[in-house]
Amino acid sequence: MRMVRFISSTLLPFLLSISNNNLEAVNAFSIPSLKRPTSITFLSPQKAKSQKQTILFSSSSENEKDKVTIAQEEATKLRELASILRGEVSEFEKSKANEEQKEKEEQESIRQEKIATRERYSAEVPILKGDGMTVLERVDFPPRLGKEKSFIQAVKAPLPLGLILGEHETIPGAIRVDEIDESGNGHSVGVRVGDLLRACTACQVIMETPTWQLLAGGIGQPKTKRFMYGTDGRPFEEVMDALGSNRMDPDGGDVWLVIEREGEQ
C-alpha cells in the first residue's frame, strides 16, 4: 500500500485508503463548508454481484412457487372439468342407451302387433300348385266386419253342411250364414249364424292330356282338381255352385270353409 505524502489541509479529515482494488471513504471530521454526511459504504463489485444474485434468486424462487401454485390450480380445475365432462358423457350414453332400448321395444311391439293382426285375419288352407300338388299355406283375408272387431277361422267338415246361406244386407258381395242345423256337420265344426263365408273349396273337372296322347291325336282324360275359391264379391249362385261342387271330389274329402266372425278369437 502506498501512502499519499501530501495531504491538503481542507481534505485532512478524510482518510483514503486503497487496498486490493477496494475503495472505502470514511468521514472523520466535518468540513466547515459542508454538513456532516451520514456514513456511506461503497460495496465491492463481488459483494454487489452476490447481493444481486441473492435478490434475483429469491425473486426467481417466488416466481417458480407462484407458477407451481397456478399450475396446480389449473390442474385441479381441469380435473374438475374432466369429471364434469365424464359425468355428462355417462349421462348421455345412458340416455342414448335408454332411447335405443325404448326404440327396440317399440319396434318389437309393432312387429308383434303385426304378427297378431296377421294371425287374426289369416288362415292356413290347402293351395293347389302348378305341379298338381296341394300344400297348406297361410292366406290373408282383410276384415269385412270391421278391424279389431272380428277374426278369421278355417274349418273343415264333410257334406252335408247343414247351412243356409244368404247375401249380407249391409256388406256388398258378402255371403252370410243365415241359419244352421245344430245337428249338422257345419255346426259341429264351429260354424255359427252370422258368420261370413270368405272362402271354400271347390272342384272342377278338366281334361288332362298326356304328351303321348297329344301326339296320337287323343282328347285326354277327365280329371277333377280341387282348389280354394274366394267368395268375396262373387255372385250368390256361383258361391252355391262352388260349395255343391265338392260332391265331385273323387276322394270324398272334407269341405274347407274360411269364415269371419264378430268378436274375439
pLDDT, residue 65, reads 73
Note the pLDDT tens digit of each residue in 122-142.
999 999 998 889 999 999 999
Q: How far apart are CA 170 and CA 179, in angstroms?
A: 17
Range with lowest mean pLDDT among 24-33, 63-72, 145-154: 24-33
Note the pLDDT tens digit of each residue in 8-56.
444 444 444 433 444 444 443 344 444 444 444 545 555 555 555 555 5
Q: How far apart are CA 238 and CA 241, in angstroms?
A: 5
Question: What are the start-end ranges of the E strands in 94-149?
Answer: 122-128, 134-140
Note the pLDDT tens digit of each residue in 176-207.
999 999 999 999 999 999 999 999 999 998 87
**How many helices, marked H, and strands, marked E, lie in the chain?**
4, 10
Q: How far apart are CA 197 and CA 59, in angstroms?
A: 105
> Percent of the chain beyond pLDDT 90?
58
Instruction: Write out the three cell numbers for 259.
Output: 269364415
Of the pLDDT bands very low, low, confident and very high (cuts 50, 70, 90), residue 64 is confident
Are the C-beta atoms of 233 and 158 separated by less than 8 Å? no
Ramachandran region, residue 41 (left: φ > 0; alpha: ψ -120 to 50; beta: rest)? beta
pLDDT, residue 89, reads 92
